[in-house]
Chain A
């Protein structure tokens, strides 16, 4: 059980994490989600006791991480971002060292190291130097190091970054397996991953918690419209007039024009209405053949973007309110930001112009080349002709 109460972390001028509170129950798998720089890693570093929070309290399995660090840290296995390892060691040496750091001794240490090496599938490389391992294996060594000593809480910071798809599924399965008898917190910015593994998602943005819920609920919450995807063969182009036949349709969009004369459309309607039945009734009458009809699922991606946008607009509103009550500092900031944005735009324009110029030059060169080639070929022809005459 992890309790995070009103935790804030400030660096000189920046507030990295702003008054967040949440709790994670025993045996739960929780995902931390957020754009880069949202405060995920900072939060994890605070839970593991690597950084001290500026304010607030963190309790891990009943022990306050600031007051009883030794007991609290014993509960935690942490795999930091980027998976730091002692690369001059062999896999076994490294894991043994991690076990020793976690106060394991004698037989228990040996057995634990052995068990973890088997669990993470490292048996065939256990005597290799970590330096010589591939990225995926290094990741597994890092994971083995966190798992050794069987900590109750496992915290993983971006565990699947930089792995190939096969390795990612392997690591995911391993994490799922772990979730059965450990409390797991993992951070990621890959949403499908989180929705697959985690029972609950905490979305952070700008150091604040935007939403805490199950992935399914988040998807539902942010879903406003019902969207259907239809692939049809429509020789008479009757799809355009469909809106008149079925008034519930809000929008019809052509998505793809396939090579086999079929077209894919997306049809949006209000959330409450399910158009599928109606489409099956109406389309054949219009001489349209349905090849495929499916409901488009609202993804966690959409939810995520929507929530973060909401958060942004909220904070802007806050700014406006405080502007009215306070002085013009924020105005100045905004002006500066605007100026920056303008400058960036100008830069982009310049860059585009440069690119265009380059392309133009290249084209010219090509043309010249071609002209030269033509000239050369003409010369050769002339020569040949002359030779022939001689």
Chain B
């Protein structure tokens, strides 16, 4: 698992995707900083992480689209699947690498916390809880994207489908059970709600399991 993890993380930064993802989030954070800091509150959770979490819906499809689609298209999937590593290890390696990218973004977001400390320190616990929620939402979104990437060999189709899956419930109000933003209502206020945590974990586990099933099935269907 660690080998795949290391390679995937490296790949994110050998291609522009890693930099684009970090750049977009830094831009969003900076924008909010610019618009709000001098006018009013120091509530990082609600102001920063809640607003920026919509950016997740746009960026995760780009992070997750290449996970399996690219390997399948280039045929490198054969190298992975004929190695002694198990499919589950490969999937978790890839999943954790994408999660690490989000973690890097969160570490960068601490810059704004540090700057705000000069004026009036925001509540650290609230901020950390908001960050934890942000990470869970991102992981859920990545797992969905990973599943979609495993059923196609076209990266663009994977990205568009993931985008649709993540955005449609938010835009139309339908399929509200699948709406990740519904599970990021209490975190920004510094409250860990069991409902939200379990919903996000369930969403994540479901799609990871789907991915494992798809990859296992492909062996006999292909």
Interface presence of B121 (CB below 8 A): no
- Using a Cβ cutoff of 8 Å, how many contacts connect chains A and B? 74
The answer to whether residues A98 and B14 also contact, given A51-B219, A51-B222 and a CB cut-off of 8 A, is: no
Task: Give the residues in chain B near A88, CB-CB below 8 Å.
Answer: 11, 14-15
The answer to whether residues A98 and B79 also contact, given A51-B220, A52-B219, A84-B74 and a CB cut-off of 8 A, is: yes
Does A70 contact B86, Cβ atoms closer than 8 Å? yes
Does B76 contact A50, Cβ atoms closer than 8 Å? no
What CA separation (Å) do A78 and B62 show in the bound complex? 31
| Interface SS of chain B | helix
Interface presence of A62 (CB below 8 A): no
Convert B1-19 into 0s and 1s, putting 1 for each residue whose CB lies closer than 8 angstroms to a CB of A. Answer: 0111011001100110000
What CA separation (Å) do A101 and B87 show in the bound complex? 12
Does A80 contact B78, Cβ atoms closer than 8 Å? yes
CB distance from B164 to the nearest CB of A (A): 28
Interface presence of B198 (CB below 8 A): no
Does A50 contact B82, Cβ atoms closer than 8 Å? yes
Task: Give the residues in chain B near A40, CB-CB below 8 Å.
Answer: none
Within 8 A of A (CB), among B1-49: 2-4, 6-7, 10-11, 14-15
What CA separation (Å) do A87 and B7 show in the bound complex? 13
Task: Give the residues in chain A near B220, CB-CB below 8 Å.
Answer: 51-52, 54
Convert A76-94 into 0s and 1s, putting 1 for each residue whose CB lies closer than 8 angstroms to a CB of B. Answer: 1010111011111100010
Interface presence of B83 (CB below 8 A): yes
Interface presence of B80 (CB below 8 A): yes
What CA separation (Å) do A93 and B83 show in the bound complex? 17
User: Which of B3, B15, B75, B222 meets A97, CB within 8 Å?
Assistant: B3
User: Which of A45, A80, A87, A103 meets B84, CB within 8 Å?
Assistant: A103
Does B78 contact A101, Cβ atoms closer than 8 Å? no
What CA separation (Å) do A80 and B75 show in the bound complex? 8
Within 8 A of A (CB), among B203-222: 219-220, 222
Nearest-CB residue, chain A, relative to B90 = A101
> Chain B contact residues (Cβ within 8 angstroms of A): what range?
20 to 34
| Interface SS of chain A | loop
What CA separation (Å) do A82 and B78 show in the bound complex? 11
Within 8 A of A (CB), among B71-110: 74-86
Within 8 A of B (CB), among A34-91: 45, 48-52, 54, 69-71, 73-74, 76, 78, 80-82, 84-89
What CA separation (Å) do A102 and B82 show in the bound complex? 10
Most buried by A among B4, B7, B80, B84: B84
Task: Give the residues in chain B near A78, CB-CB below 8 Å.
Answer: 78-79, 82
Nearest-CB residue, chain A, relative to B81 = A50
Does A84 contact B75, Cβ atoms closer than 8 Å? yes
Does A100 contact B79, Cβ atoms closer than 8 Å? no
What CA separation (Å) do A84 and B186 show in the bound complex? 47
CB distance from B93 to the nearest CB of A (A): 10
Nearest-CB residue, chain A, relative to B83 = A101
What CA separation (Å) do A100 and B89 show in the bound complex? 13
Pairs across A and B, CB under 8 Å, 26 listed: A49-B81, A49-B82, A49-B219, A50-B78, A50-B82, A50-B219, A51-B219, A69-B84, A69-B86, A70-B84, A71-B84, A73-B83, A76-B82, A78-B79, A78-B82, A80-B79, A80-B82, A84-B79, A87-B74, A97-B3, A97-B7, A98-B79, A101-B79, A101-B83, A103-B84, A145-B79
Query: Interface residues, chain A, CB within 8 Å of chain B?
Result: 45, 48-52, 54, 69-71, 73-74, 76, 78, 80-82, 84-89, 93, 97-98, 100-103, 145
Known: A51-B222, A100-B3, A102-B83. 10 other contacts (CB 8 A): A49-B82, A52-B220, A70-B86, A73-B82, A73-B84, A78-B79, A84-B79, A86-B74, A89-B14, A97-B3
